[in-house]
Structures are given as C-alpha cells and as structure tokens.
Amino acid sequence: MPSRMATSKRPTSLLVRLDPRHRGGLQRQIYASIQRAILDGVVGPGTRLPSSRALADDLGVSRTTTLLAVQQLEAEGYLAGRPGCRMARPPARLKHPTLSRRGAALVAAPQGAQRLPGPPRAFRIGTPGVDLFPVALWWRLASRRVRSITPTQLDYGEPAGLRALREAIADHVQTARGTRFSAEQVLVVAGAQQGLELISRVLLDPGDRVWMEEPGYPGARSALLGAGARIVPVPVDAEGLAVEPGARGAADARLAYVTPSHQYPLGVPMSLPRRLALLRWASRAGAWVIEDDYDSEFRYGARPVPCLHGLDVDGRVIYVGSFSKTLFPSLRLGFLIVPPDLQDGLQAARAAADQHPPVLDQAVLADFIGEGHFARHLRRMRVAYRERLEAVSDAATRFCRGALRLRPTRTGLHAIADLEGADAARVSREAAARGVEATPLSAYFAERGTRVNALVLGFAAVRPEAARRGMERLAAAIEAGRRG
Ligand SMILES: Cc1ncc(COP(=O)(O)O)c(C=O)c1O
C-alpha cells in the first residue's frame, strides 16, 4: 500500500473496484466508487484522499482518467481542497436530504461573481451600462404596442417566439456575426440561461460527459449539472479552449460549451486553428457544440471575429445569444440558432418549460431592432464602454501603482487584473467591506483552490467618476490585504 493511502486509511483497491468489462468506462467507475464511499460514510468528511497520481499508479490507469474522475467529484461538491490534497466533504445530500443528486450538485457548484446588494456599483460583472438605456424610447414603443394589441396577441403565442422578432434577430445576427441561417432556426428564449437549460435537457442523459472551459461561466456549469451531466473541465490557454487535452481525456463527450469570441472570464478569442479543431472533433465524435456569444458586440479597436457558427458545415453548433448585455438583463430575452436536426426537440422543450416569453416584450424588442434603435444603441454603448474601460485602466495605474495590473482588454464588459503582493480572495473581502465588488478569478474554476492571483473587474456598469472612486477604495483594500 503506498504511503499516501494512510490518509484515507484504506487501500485504493477497497475504495475503487475496477471491472474492465464495465460499459461505463474506467473514469466513470472511479468516480462512482468514490462517490458511493462518501455517500455511504465509508470515507468520512475531512478524510484526505490519495492524489490522482497515486490513484492512477495504484489502479494501473492513466493519470488523465483519475484526474477527470476527481475533478468531476470536486465540481459536484464531494471533494474539496487543492490538487494533491483533496478531502471528502460532507455529502450535500445529507445537508439537503430532499434534493436529488443533480439538485445537490447544483447547490455545491461554484457561483462565480460576488455581488453586493443594491444598484450597479464598481466593478460589477455581467451588468451593462443600464444607466444609459433609452428608457423613454422603450416606453414609447411599449405603449404603442399596448394600444394596438389584438385578441390574437392576448392568446398563447408560438413556442419558437414571435415571427417578427425571429426575423429581426436573423437579419441582425447574420450581418453582425458573419453567419447564415433562416429565421425558422431562431428560438426565442427567456435569456441565454434558459437556452442553456433547454439544450442540456434535450441533449443530455444523466452521466453524459460535457467539455466545459476551465475557468468558465458558472451559469453554463449549473445548467449542465442540473441535467445530470458529468463536467470535464478543459483548460483554456492563449488560444482559447485546448481541444487536444479535451479529446485525450474525454473523446466521447456529448457536448462542448465554449465562448469563442471572448472567453468567459479570461477574455481571449479562440484562434481559427482551435475553432477548426473543435469542429473536426465534434463531427468525428457526433458531439454538439454550444457557442455562447454573450458579449461579442463590444469591441474597442479590436478586429471583429466572425462567430464559430459561420464555420460549421455539419450543423453541430448551437448558437446562444442574449439581450442581457446589449440591452438590459431584466428583459430576460435571448435566442438560440438551432441546427435543423434539433429544431423539433428544442421547440418541444421550449413549450414544456413555459410555452414562450411574454408576447408584448417580444413585440417591443422586434420594433426596437427593426426600427434601427438597436444598432444605434450598440454604437453609442461601444463609445461609452471604451471610455469606461479607459477610466478603470487609468485609475488602476494612478491609485494602485503596480499592485494591480489590468491585462490588455479590447473587447467585452470586464477585464482581468493581476495582483502583486496581496491575495485576491482577501482583497475581495476587504473590497466588499468598502462597498466595492471585486471577484477573484479563482471563483470561475471548477477545480477549487486553483492558484491564480487575479481579480475580475466589470467596467461597463458605472460612470468613469464612480469607477475612479471605486478604484481608490480598491487600492485601500489591496493595502489592507497586504497587511492582513
Ligand atoms: C458567459 C455568459 N453567457 C450568458 C450570459 C447571459 O445570460 P442571460 O441571457 O441569461 O442573462 C452571461 C451573463 O452574465 C454570461 O456571462
């Protein structure tokens, strides 16, 4: 028995039994054995598990196999700690005895951005410049629609969404994002989040493996866990999702979730070779790819990168769009561009979920886009966001003097800022005590305890003056974090 096993007080062979004829594969068996041991109390809370390397040596399997099993257990909350030092956690099922395993996994998943109560403040992530939204214009369009509403429009509408809105979306996205599709392929949903939910429900069976960018978007991770998926964290480098390690570790995955135009949260665009490699893998594996294009409209001098959907000749890509960043998040409207093979399935799931979003909101949005206000609003917001980004960047240089360095940012609504000499988690707590939101980058990793000393700072939600005041307070938080 290797010395490391002493920590779990039982040999690997008792913890994990492998049957080479088992249909689920080795990784699945390792995952299920350890999960069972924790749920049954055979391995108690706080017990240290053998490292994935020691497990691999003992079981005579590859390190990738054990690592992916361990990472899955971690993503679902069964294990906590750093690589090489993972402890069993009290089963979430006991804490929430009425929850299904999927429900418990959802509760245990990392939640990402930390928000303080109240209106948008420095440096909130995920909120656009709602202070600049043309509310009076929206109100005019809405009252015009209400005044002319017909009995048909008061009845149930089409599950796929209002025809006029689907056409307006098709016109805009084909021009703006360099792809081709028909209005019939557009499915209007209640925000990108519902789109991710519906896709997960229609395409995944419990236990199916899904590639997920690491670090990645917690909303997507939650939707996938909610469908019982086993998440395979795939690393992201300077070219975006690293396709090769994904294919090596989980070639048979059913689905891959990516943010190619602006990786969430790191901000890198996915390179063309990677896009092509991802599509090749998807075709070979018969897998689907979710392209979440959540904030691609915002570029400040960067060249536009056409969407992945435009390169997809096999119909493997499901494009997810949202109006939460381009307009305002409480609108709760987004859309999917659905490959022809999935149209019936997704429309049925759409109807089963909530029939369709409110027809009146869809009609107002269709007018807003169709009458040119959407394109005008986007142009105005790009100018405002460039100014807001500059304000945050200048204030960081002025107040933090090298202790906080913004990585070059020319797209999106947030920036990554590396910290020197103070711990990001501590700085984040000190910032919250001063009324400033500064989320540690580590909050976006499924692998808990990942060592990255950086903050994610939203720059879109507040005016330059508020950002400067926020940065002054963040500088004080860094100073306090250094002393602490
Ligand atoms: C990566 C990503 N996808 C999608 C969304 C939008 O989700 P929704 O349309 O549900 O508001 C967000 C919002 O923060 C996001 O960050």
Q: How confident is the model at residue 91 (pLDDT cuts 50, 70, 90)?
A: low
Residues 470, 438 contacting (CB under 8 angstroms): no
| Token pair 């997810």 in the structure block, residue | 320
- Whole-model pTM over 0.85: no
Least confident of 9-18, 192-201, 271-280, 350-359: 9-18
pLDDT of residue 25 exceeding 80? no
pLDDT at res. 92 = 56
Query: Does residue 264 line the site of ligand 1, with CB under 6 A?
Result: yes
Closest Cα to atom 13, ligand 1: which residue?
Answer: 126
- Total residue length of the chain: 484
Closest Cα to atom 6, ligand 1: which residue?
Answer: 192
Tens-place pLDDT, residues 220-268: 999 999 999 999 999 999 999 999 999 999 999 999 999 999 999 999 9
Give the residue among 107, 318, 314, 127 at the shortest CA–CA distance from 210: 318
Query: What average pLDDT score do residues 199-214 get?
Result: 96
Residues 8, 48 contacting (CB under 8 angstroms): yes
* Distance of CA 322 from the midpoint of ligand 1 (Å): 7
Task: Compute the distance between CA of residue 69 and CA of residue 53 in angstroms, rounded to an integer.
Answer: 12
Residues 66, 56 contacting (CB under 8 angstroms): yes
Higher pLDDT, 114 or 310: 310
| Ligand 1 mutation target, pool 222, 292, 326, 335, most atoms within 8 A of CB | 292
Type of residue found at 244: E
Closest Cα to atom 3, ligand 1: which residue?
Answer: 294
Query: Does residue 338 line the site of ligand 1, with CB under 6 A?
Result: no
Task: Compute the distance between CA of residue 103 and CA of residue 100 in angstroms, rounded to an integer.
Answer: 5
| Token pair 């399935």 in the structure block, residue | 345
Least confident of 18-27, 48-57, 189-198, 358-367: 18-27
- 282: left (phi > 0), else alpha (psi -120 to 50), else beta? alpha
* Distance of CA 28 from the midpoint of ligand 1 (Å): 30
Residues 32, 24 contacting (CB under 8 angstroms): yes
Higher pLDDT, 386 or 39: 386
Q: How confident is the model at residue 21 (pLDDT cuts 50, 70, 90)?
A: low
pLDDT at res. 4 = 34
- Please give the mean pLDDT across all residues of the chain: 91
| Token pair 């119909």 in the structure block, residue | 315
pLDDT at res. 110 = 75
Least confident of 51-55, 124-128, 208-212, 355-359: 51-55
pLDDT of residue 450 exceeding 80? no
**Dihedral angle over CA of 245, 251, 253, 259, nearest 10:** 40
Q: How confident is the model at residue 329 (pLDDT cuts 50, 70, 90)?
A: very high
Residues 479, 421 contacting (CB under 8 angstroms): no
* Distance of CA 294 from the midpoint of ligand 1 (Å): 6
Task: Compute the distance between CA of residue 372 and CA of residue 366 in angstroms, rounded to an integer.
Answer: 10
Tens-place pLDDT, residues 400-417: 999 999 999 999 999 999
Per-residue b/e over 187-210, b at no fewer than 16 CB within 10 Å?
Answer: bbbbbbbbbbbbbbbbbbeeebbb
- Which span out of 94-108, 299-313, 370-384 was modeled with the highest average pLDDT? 370-384
Tens-place pLDDT, residues 32-86: 888 878 877 778 888 888 888 888 888 888 888 888 888 778 877 788 877 777 8
Least confident of 21-35, 315-329, 370-384: 21-35
Residue 401, C-beta contacts closer than 8 angstroms, at least 6 positions apart? none
Closest Cα to atom 14, ligand 1: which residue?
Answer: 126
CA distances to 84, 104, 414, 448 from 70, rounded to whole Å, are 10, 17, 31, 11
pLDDT at res. 130 = 98
Atom of ligand 1 nearest to the CA of 193: 10
Task: Compute the distance between CA of residue 371 and CA of residue 141 in angstroms, rounded to an integer.
Answer: 10
* Distance of CA 379 from the midpoint of ligand 1 (Å): 21
pLDDT at res. 2 = 36
Query: What average pLDDT score do residues 98-110 get?
Result: 82
Query: Does residue 128 line the site of ligand 1, with CB under 6 A?
Result: no
Give the residue among 263, 268, 230 at the shortest CA–CA distance from 249: 230
Task: Compute the distance between CA of residue 159 and CA of residue 178 in angstroms, rounded to an integer.
Answer: 27
* Distance of CA 193 from the midpoint of ligand 1 (Å): 6
* Distance of CA 324 from the midpoint of ligand 1 (Å): 7
Query: Does residue 322 line the site of ligand 1, with CB under 6 A?
Result: yes
Tens-place pLDDT, residues 149-174: 999 999 999 999 999 999 999 999 99
Q: Give the pairing of strands 317-322 and 288-292.
A: parallel
Instruction: Determine what percent of the chain is predicted with pLDDT higher than 70.
Output: 94
